[in-house]
């Protein structure tokens, strides 16, 4: 059977019902609250407050460390599966703190869509914009939720204009807010001609939903005060004239975002958004890979690692690789090929993440996220197949923006430190460079907080107190090119050369001027700020 719209074979129903997405937002916009409501309406938790610590406290460092120690929580929150109506949602969590953005970027390679949460009073904030740009690189469909409408918020047109201008994407209203701030009473559901009224008394109650027969339905006046009704009419008329209508194909291609207005904390607008994810989601998409793309409906199983979490149980040094299934129907116990090493791998104890628990996954379909416990064989970017030599592409590794030297508190423990650093490098928690000249290592991260987290983890997991010191370098670039040119370059710049944990050559410097000079003097070499994980 052919799906007329996409001109592709229709997916098996089990795959077609899957929606794998992430939430992107600026800290404080309400991502955690929205996640919790998703889980509540998906039946994965019984009451709000089960999943998280309280807002601000959760983001402080001490609390983060606590969370890191309590690996169970942070890991099970990395991917959450739950059913909603006929759909299976796989929500992949992105770390909220901007210091962990690299992890976030990689997570976005494992999803088919993103929900962008913005604060109705603040509009598009810096972190949202950054994350949006990453989604744009992959033309990821974006659904927008404008949160905190129960509070004083910006004018609806102003919010929509800001998104259109700052993010260069068409915005189409899926709902329209009625009243503002304290006068906010709910939304008109444009897509389904319904009036949704918010209940301020009970935060966990789903809004009262009244079916309306178009905007002239007298029922509207029974529920909406006259002045707000008049305003609604005016605004919707203007919206119709000025804003594009919903075009599902444009949403799928990432050119248009539908926007829902609501209040996560009041459970308002959340179900409408969930229905939207179901309708425009989209279903699991084709995965880019070499030498050919992978389609979800292929009967052979394939998947790729987008995140590794090490030492989940410090006693056992185990690791869990998070795998996004790209095709087929996986069953527990299957033997898959680990393409990078060409070795077979029996996947006998894969786990599925359900809100705050994890359980053995007996099966998984394209679109699902499973965790595979392993002893370090699986790395970010690895592909698993039933034998074919495919390699999923597009999983980036970024040049670190902060570099520091690292030393073991006890010089006799240098070898241990090397082992610990290599593990973290493979996990993707930091970049580790071994300079050609001199001893020791240089560690590179994207955000300063990562140094502290690393120091604390090395101490906790390896019993090694370490010190980070300033490094003479501030930038790192991977260098590639044919061997003769590369050797010539390395010989002439030994003080600036290091190797990463894969053995790839890295150029370290503190001046942009140096980088420009290398680009000018060595046209046959390629300097890059990102490296694809292999
Ligand atoms: P984040 O994950 O995006 O960082 O945001 P989070 O959900 O933690 O929400 C940030 C703050 O905004 C929280 O307040 C939360 O209660 C509040 N919030 C979320 N949704 C809404 C909403 O629809 N309306 C209003 N008025 N507030 C909302 P907090 O004081 O930081 O934490 P808490 O003590 O309330 O948990």
What's the rounded mean pLDDT across residues 15-31?
94
More confident residue, 96 or 524: 524
Q: Is 31 in the pocket of ligand 1 (CB under 6 A)?
A: yes
State the Cα angle at 136 between 124 and 3, rounded to 5°: 120
Residue 434 among known ligand-binding residues = no
- Supply angle C-alpha 165, 167, 168, rounded to 5: 65
The phi-psi region of residue 229 (left if phi > 0; otherwise alpha if psi is between -120 and 50; otherwise beta) is alpha
With the most atoms of ligand 1 within 8 angstroms of its CB, the residue from 26, 29, 51, 55 to mutate is 55
Residue 400's φ and ψ, nearest 5 degrees, are -65, 150
Torsion angle of the four alpha carbons 233, 236, 237, 239, in this order, in degrees rounded to the nearest 10 = 160
Q: Indicate which atom in ligand 1 lies nearest the CA of residue 29.
A: 3
Measured between alpha carbons, how far is 312 from 376 in angstroms, rounded to an integer?
A: 12
Give me the phi and psi of 381, to 5 degrees please: 95, -10
ipTM over 0.90: yes
**CATH class of the domain defined by 289-392:** alpha beta
31 known ligand binder: yes
For residues 223 and 494, give the distance between their C-alpha atoms in angstroms, rounded to a whole number: 75
Residue 499 CA to chain centroid, in angstroms? 28
The architecture in CATH of the region 399-532 reads 2-Layer Sandwich (3.30)
How far does Cα 530 stand from its chain's mean position? 18
Residue 148 pLDDT > 60, yes or no?
yes
pLDDT average, residue stretch 207-234? 92
Q: Across the strands, what pairs with 505? A: 499
Among the residue ranges 69-83, 390-404, 408-422, the one predicted with the least confidence is 69-83
Residue 267 CA to ligand 1 center (angstroms) comes to 12
Cβ(233)–Cβ(215) below 8 Å: yes
33 Cα–ligand 1 center, Å? 6
69 pLDDT tier (thresholds 50, 70, 90): very low
Q: Is the pLDDT of residue 139 over 60?
A: yes
CA-nearest of 247, 366, 381, 257 to 308 is 381
**What digits encode the pLDDT tens for the residues 299-357?**
999 999 998 887 666 555 678 899 999 999 999 999 999 999 999 999 999 988 775 56
Mutate to test the pocket of ligand 1, among 30, 35, 273 (most ligand atoms within 8 A of CB): 30
Cβ 27 under 6 angstroms from ligand 1: yes
Indicate whether residue 29 lines ligand 1 (CB < 6 A): yes
What is the 39 CA–ligand 1 centroid distance (Å)? 16
- Confirm whether residue 189 is marked as ligand binding: no
Is the pLDDT at 33 greater than 60? The verdict is: yes
If we measure between CA atoms, which residue out of 363, 291, 304 comes closest to residue 330? 363
Q: Which ligand 1 atom is nearest residue 58's CA?
A: 8
* Distance (Å, whole) CA 138 – CA 133: 9
pLDDT for 390 beyond 80? yes
Q: For residues 194, 199, 202 and 206, what is the CA-based torsion angle, rounded to 10 degrees?
A: 10
Domains 289-392 and 399-532 alike in fold: no
Instruction: Name the least confident of 102-106, 474-478, 487-491, 516-520.
Output: 102-106
Closest residue by Cα to atom 27, ligand 1, is 148
Give the highest mean pLDDT range of 64-78, 204-218, 284-298. 284-298
Alpha helices in 95-197 (DSSP H): 101-107, 126-137, 156-167
Known binding residue 30? Answer is yes
94 lines ligand 1 (CB under 6 A): no
- For the segment 40-53, the average pLDDT, to the nearest whole number, is 65
> Going by CA atoms, what residue is nearest to atom 11 of ligand 1?
28
| Per-position DSSP letters for 37-102, written without gaps between them | HHHHHTTS-SSTTSS---HHHHHSHHHHHHHHHSHHHHHHTTEEEEEETTEEEEEEP--SSGGGHH
Given a cut of 90, whether residue 59 has pLDDT beyond it is no
In the chain, where the domains are located: 21-81+93-280, 289-392, 399-532
- At 385, the pLDDT band (50, 70, 90 cuts) reads very high
Ligand 1 pocket check for 54: Cβ under 6 Å: yes
Smallest Cα–Cα separation from 90: which of 53, 115, 64? 115
Using CA atoms, how far apart are residues 271 and 41, in angstroms rounded to an integer? 8
Asked whether the beta carbons of 395 and 46 are under 8 A apart, the reply is no
Cα–Cα distance list, 384 to 36, 284, 339, 378, 391 (Å): 32, 17, 6, 9, 8
Task: Please check whether residue 270 is in contact with residue 261, taking contact to mean a CB–CB distance below 8 angstroms.
Answer: no
Give the CATH class of 21-81+93-280: alpha beta
Would the pLDDT of 55 be above 50? no
In this predicted structure, which of 2-11, 147-156, 167-176, 350-359 has the lowest mean pLDDT? 2-11
Q: How far is the CA of 127 from the centre of ligand 1 (A)?
A: 17
Bridge pairing between strands 526-528 and 530-532: unpaired
Nearest CA to 169 out of 207, 202, 140, 199 is that of 140
The Å distance, Cα 243 to ligand 1 centre, comes to 30
Share above pLDDT 70 across residues of the chain, in percent, rounded to a whole number: 88
**Residue 99: predicted pLDDT:** 54
What pTM does this model have? 0.83
Strand-pair category, 170-173 with 142-147: unpaired
pLDDT, position 67: 44
Closest to 470 (Cα-Cα) out of 440, 490, 429:
440
**Is the preceding peptide bond at 291 cis, omega within 30 degrees of 0?**
yes
With CA atoms as reference, report the closest residue to 428 among 528, 311, 303, 309. Answer: 309
- Calpha distance 533→426 (Å, rounded): 10
Cα(312) to ligand 1 centroid in Å equals: 29
| Range in 61-65, 97-101, 321-325, 374-378 with the lowest mean pLDDT | 61-65
Confidence of residue 60 (pLDDT cuts 50, 70, 90): very low
Cβ pair 428, 389 in contact under 8 A = no
pLDDT at 100: 54
Q: What confidence score (pLDDT) does residue 530 get?
A: 77
Pocket flag, ligand 1, residue 303 (CB < 6 Å):
no
Of 205 and 436, the one with more pLDDT: 436
Considering only CA atoms, which residue is closest to atom 14 of ligand 1? 55
The pLDDT value given to residue 219: 92
Using CA atoms, how far apart are residues 33 and 54, in angstroms rounded to an integer? 10
- Rounded Cα distance, 398 and 50, in Å: 34
For residue range 495-504, list pLDDT tens digits in order: 999 999 889 9
Phi and psi torsions of 404, nearest 5°: -145, 150
How much distance in Å is there from the Cα of 122 to the middle of ligand 1? 13
Rounded CA-CA distance 232/223 in Å is 13
- The three-state secondary structure class of 495 is helix
State the average pLDDT over residues 87-102: 75
């Amino acid at each position: 059977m052919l799906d007329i719209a996409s001109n592709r074979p229709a997916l098996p129903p089990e795959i077609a019902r899957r929606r794998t997405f992430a939430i992107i937002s600026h800290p404080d916009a309400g991502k955690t609250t929205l996640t919790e409501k998703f889980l509540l309406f998906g039946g994965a938790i019984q009451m709000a407050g089960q999943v998280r610590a309280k807002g601000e406290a959760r983001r402080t460092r001490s609390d983060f460390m606590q969370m890191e120690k309590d690996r169970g929580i942070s890991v099970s929150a990395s991917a959450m599966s739950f059913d909603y109506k006929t759909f299976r949602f796989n929500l992949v969590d992105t770390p909220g703190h901007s210091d962990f953005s690299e992890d976030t970027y990689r997570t976005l390679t494992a999803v088919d869509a993103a929900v962008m949460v913005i604060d109705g009073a603040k509009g598009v904030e810096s972190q949202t914009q950054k994350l949006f740009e990453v989604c744009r690189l992959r033309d990821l469909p974006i659904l927008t939720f404008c949160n905190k409408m129960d509070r004083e918020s910006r004018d609806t047109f102003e919010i929509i204009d800001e998104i259109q201008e700052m993010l260069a994407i068409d915005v189409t209203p899926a709902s329209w807010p009625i009243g503002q701030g304290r006068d906010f009473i709910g939304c008109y559901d444009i897509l389904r001609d319904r009036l949704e009224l918010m209940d301020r008394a009970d935060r966990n109650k789903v809004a009262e939903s009244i079916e309306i027969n178009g905007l002239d339905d007298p029922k509207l006046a029974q529920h909406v005060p006259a002045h707000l009704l008049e305003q609604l009419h005016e605004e919707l008329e203007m919206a119709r004239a000025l804003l594009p209508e919903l075009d599902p194909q444009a949403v799928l291609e990432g050119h248009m975002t539908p926007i829902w207005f609501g209040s996560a904390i009041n459970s308002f607008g959340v179900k409408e958004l969930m229905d939207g994810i179901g309708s425009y989601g989209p279903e699991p998409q084709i995965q880019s890979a070499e030498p050919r793309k992978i389609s979800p409906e292929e009967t052979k199983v394939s998947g790729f690692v987008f995140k590794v979490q090490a030492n989940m149980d410090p006693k056992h040094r185990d690791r869990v690789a998070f795998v996004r299934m790209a095709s087929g129907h996986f069953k527990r116990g299957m033997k898959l090929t680990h393409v990078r090493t060409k070795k077979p791998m029996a996947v006998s104890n894969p786990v599925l993440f359900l809100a705050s628990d994890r359980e053995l996954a007996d099966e998984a379909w394209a679109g699902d996220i499973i965790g595979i416990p392993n002893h370090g064989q699986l790395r970010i970017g690895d592909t698993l197949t039933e034998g074919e030599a495919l390699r999923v592409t597009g999983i980036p590794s970024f040049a670190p923006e902060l570099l520091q030297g690292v030393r073991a508190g006890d010089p006799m423990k240098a070898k241990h430190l090397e082992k610990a650093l290599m593990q973290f490098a493979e996990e993707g928690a930091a970049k580790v460079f071994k300079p050609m000249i001199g001893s020791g290592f240089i560690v590179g991260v994207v955000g300063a907080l990562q140094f502290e987290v690393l120091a604390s983890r090395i101490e906790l997991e390896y019993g090694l107190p370490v010190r980070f010191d300033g490094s003479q370098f501030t930038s790192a670039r991977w260098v590639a090119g044919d061997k003769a040119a590369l050797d010539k370059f390395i010989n002439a710049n030994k003080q600036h050369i290091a190797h990463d944990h894969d053995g790839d050559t890295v150029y370290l410097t503190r001046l942009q001027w140096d980088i420009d000079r290398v680009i000018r003097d060595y046209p046959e070499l390629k300097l890059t700020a990102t490296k694809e994980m292999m």
